[in-house]
A and B are shown apart, each in its own frame.
Chain A
């Protein structure tokens, strides 16, 4: 079945540092890939997505490229801000799970001023 593996957290960075959160997946066919962000005490918000190989999703300075050859969708940001502190979830849709999203474990990011 489908699965998503994220790099273990927590991740702590200083403001303006470069961010990478790794995400790899296992799925049949051609899934869509997503990054969601969860701020404390809130639900999930879609950060970005990519629906086919080599697509790059981007939003608010975050980027991720759908790499089918490495089955990866790593999240990057060139210069993080304190306000980026949150939990980030990688997710996929499709394959054997049909219409259900499959989530990774989540990565806690803390950005210090």
Chain B
């Protein structure tokens, strides 16, 4: 079936550093990828939508200069948290839309980011 690989699964970084999270569709081409943030015991908050080869569309209130999204190919999207601060600590999940399977959505396994 459709698989989305997201890594790292967890990362701890120091304040002020940048962290990159990768999301790869392993066996299909993802026309669109979505990045979510999830706080403990809460639902998923959509951060941005990215289409291959074009700039990401950010949701209102999400700082595009802080959360850099690159979707360079049909199988890879990256989220870079720049100059991370403790309040950026969260669970980040990507999702890819599968063009070959009725445009269904497949989610990555998530990345737990802790900024110390």
Residues of A within 8 A of B (CB): 36, 41-46, 89, 99-101, 103-106, 108
Contact = CB atoms under 8 A, between A and B. Distances in A.
Interface of B: 4, 6, 9, 32, 34, 41-44, 46, 49, 93, 95, 97, 103-110, 112
Given A43-B108, A46-B105, A100 B43 contact: no
Contacts of A45: 107
Given A41-B112, A42-B109, A100 B49 contact: yes
Contacts of A46: 104-106
15 contacts: A41-B9, A41-B112, A42-B109, A43-B108, A43-B109, A44-B44, A44-B93, A46-B104, A46-B106, A89-B43, A100-B49, A101-B34, A101-B46, A101-B95, A101-B105
Given A43-B93, A43-B109, A99 B32 contact: yes
A104 B95 CA distance: 17
A43 B104 contact: no
Contacts of B112: 41
B44 A89 contact: yes
B93 A100 contact: no
B92 to A, nearest CB: 10
Nearest to A87: B41
A87 B23 CA distance: 22
